[in-house]
Amino acid sequence: MLHIDMDYFFAQIEEIRNPEYKNKIIAVCIFSGRTEDSGVISTVNYEGRNVGIKSGMPIVNAKKLAKSGIFLPADHKYYESISQTIDGLIRSNCTKVEKSSIDEWYALAEDEVETGKRIKLEILNSTNLTCTVGVAHSRLGAKMASDKAKPNGFLILGKEKERNLIDNSPVEKIIGIGPKTKDELNELGVKTVSDLRGLNQFILIEKFGKKTGAWLYNLGIGIYDSEIEERIEKGEFSRIGSLKENTREKGKILEKIVELEREAKEELKYSKKFYKTLTLIFITEDIKMHTKSRSFSKPRGEKETNLDEIKKLMSEFLDNERKEVRRVGVKFSGLVEMDGQTTLF
Ligand code: DCP
Ligand code: CA
Ligand code: CA
């Protein structure tokens, strides 16, 4: 299993977007608006972490620690669009993918070490952002590997190393063990995961319930979860891919879009959906994302061809943009059920 986690995500995005702030403390803030500085720190770059700024800290306190720091408002929409680009990239390299937060993914692939390296490189090439990749046999192991290797790291854990890392970990470091469970375990004399090993299965189940109790017992004896929960984004289907080289040539761009459209339509077909909106995505050489959409009054299915619309949207974009195109994508949204819809036609 692979675990991919972006490094100091929001702050790194701001570093890339504002190269003039290079080497400065950059903190992304969630301003509450009550007073000029009320609110908390969302995240901060390593320069800021080095002076003690942390996620969740009041902005006022953080400013005291970094007099000349740059404090920017969070631009969630923009971070989300970059997250989507990364998501598309991971999906095109892996057999199964679970997005677990705005900047984290679990994934399965044939050759995970090689795939992990490739994903790391592709993310860097298309967004200029670094991430950390962990490879292990379980979800927990992969996540712990990436946590340990941060930032800009790559860590592969074989079975034995994975077990050791988990065993020696304080229980509160394990995802799924909150403060309450931690206290209860501490009372039982359990400080690290390996301490769970001496405990009776039935006592654990009695104390923590069937599900958690059994999970804790398994954790102690080295049985870890390796399931992937594939959550396909319900509201849309999209595909993003890189052009062989940056270009403005219509023929080359069109060829790639048509290929991606075909792939996205496959998903549409499997999920038995019609769509009302077609969107073309263009990522230019400066890593900016642009979109062009067309909505249809009647939902379309996988059989309808969009070649005319694609050509038109592509020309509209290229006529107004002088930069070269680096990546392109196709998105179907405004989805409606095929079954419910057929009666309408
Ligand atoms: N985030 C937030 N509030 C928090 C934690 C995180 O707003 N309490 C946001 C900002 C982060 C993003 O979510 O950039 C991802 O969260 P992570 O916990 O992965 O933190 P970072 O990516 O910032 O740091 P790291 O490099 O340690 O993963
Ligand atoms: Ca992160
Ligand atoms: Ca994260």
**Measured CA distances, 209 to 50, 195, 202, 313 (Å):** 41, 19, 10, 56
pLDDT digits 0-9 by tens, 146-175: 999 999 999 999 999 999 999 999 999 999
C-beta 103 within 6 A of ligand 1: yes
Answer yes or no: is the C-beta of 150 below 6 A from any ligand 1 atom.
yes
> What's the CA angle centered on 231, arms 230 and 236, to 5 degrees?
130
Tell me how crowded residue 170 is: count the other CB atoms within 10 A of its CB: 15
pLDDT-derived band at 74 (thresholds 50, 70, 90) equals very high
Residue 10 near ligand 1, beta carbon < 6 Å: yes
User: How far does the centroid of ligand 1 lie from the alpha carbon of residue 54, in Å?
Assistant: 10
pLDDT digits (tens, 9 = 90+) for 10-37: 999 999 999 999 899 999 999 988 889 9
* Residue whose tokens read 């920017």: 72
3-class DSSP state of 232: coil
pLDDT of residue 135: 98
Which ligand 1 atom is at minimum distance from the Cα of 7? Answer: 26
Lowest mean per-residue pLDDT among 19-33, 38-52, 299-313, 329-343: 329-343
Domain architecture of the chain: domains with CATH? 2-7+77-163 (3.30.70.270), 9-76 (3.40.1170.60), 168-221 (1.10.150.20), 236-337 (3.30.1490.100)
Residue of the CA atom closest to atom 7 of ligand 1: 42
Place 241 in a pLDDT band, splitting at 50, 70 and 90: confident
Q: Return the pLDDT at 67.
A: 95
Contact indicator for 338, 252 with CB cutoff of 8 Å: no
- Classify the C-alpha dihedral 337-338-342-343 as positive or negative: negative
Tens digit of pLDDT for each residue in 55-72? 999 999 999 999 999 999
Which residues on neighbouring strands pair with residue 72, listed in sequence order? 28
Report the chain's mean pLDDT, rounded to a whole number. 92
43 alpha carbon to ligand 1 midpoint, in Å? Answer: 6
User: Among the atoms of ligand 1, which is closest to the Cα of residue 42?
Assistant: 7
pLDDT at res. 97: 93
Atom 27, ligand 1: residue with shortest CA distance: 8
- What average pLDDT score do residues 256-275 get? 89
Q: Residue 28: nearest ligand to its CA?
A: 1
Q: Which residue intervals of the chain are DSSP H helices?
A: 9-17, 46-50, 59-65, 76-91, 112-127, 139-149, 159-167, 179-187, 201-208, 210-220, 250-270, 307-319, 338-342
Which of 47, 104, 229, 309 is labelled catalytic? 104
Among protein residues, the one with the nearest Cα to ligand 1's atom 1 is 42
Calculate the CA 36 to chain-centre distance.
31
Task: Tell me which ligand sits closest to the C-alpha of residue 9.
Answer: 1
Q: Considering only residues 138 and 297, tell me which one the structure prediction assigns the higher pLDDT.
A: 138
Is there a catalytic annotation at residue 114? no
Q: Locate tokens 């969107």: which residue?
A: 279
Give the residue whose CA is nearest to atom 25 of ligand 1.
8
- Amino acid letter at 16? I
Ligand 3 centroid from CA 134, angstroms: 13
CA of 76 to the centre of ligand 1 (A): 12
Q: Is the dihedral of CA 200, 202, 205, 206 positive or negative?
A: negative
CB of 5 sitting under 6 A from ligand 1: yes
* Closest residue by Cα to residue 323 from 278, 279, 289: 289
Arithmetic mean of pLDDT, 262-282: 89
Instruction: State the distance from the centre of ligand 2 to the C-alpha of 48, rounded, in angstroms.
Output: 15
The pLDDT assigned to 345 comes to 33
Please tell me the predicted confidence (pLDDT) of residue 231.
Answer: 61
Ligand 1 atom closest to the CA of 6, numbered from 1: 22
pTM over 0.75: no
Per-residue pLDDT at 296 exceeds 70: yes
Res 343: pLDDT: 34
Task: Give the distance (Å) from ligand 1 centre to CA of residue 287.
Answer: 22
The more confidently predicted of residues 103 and 270 is 103
**Ligand 1 lined by 275 (C-beta under 6 Å):** no
Atom from ligand 1 closest to the CA of residue 103: 15
Helices (H), 175-249: 179-187, 201-208, 210-220
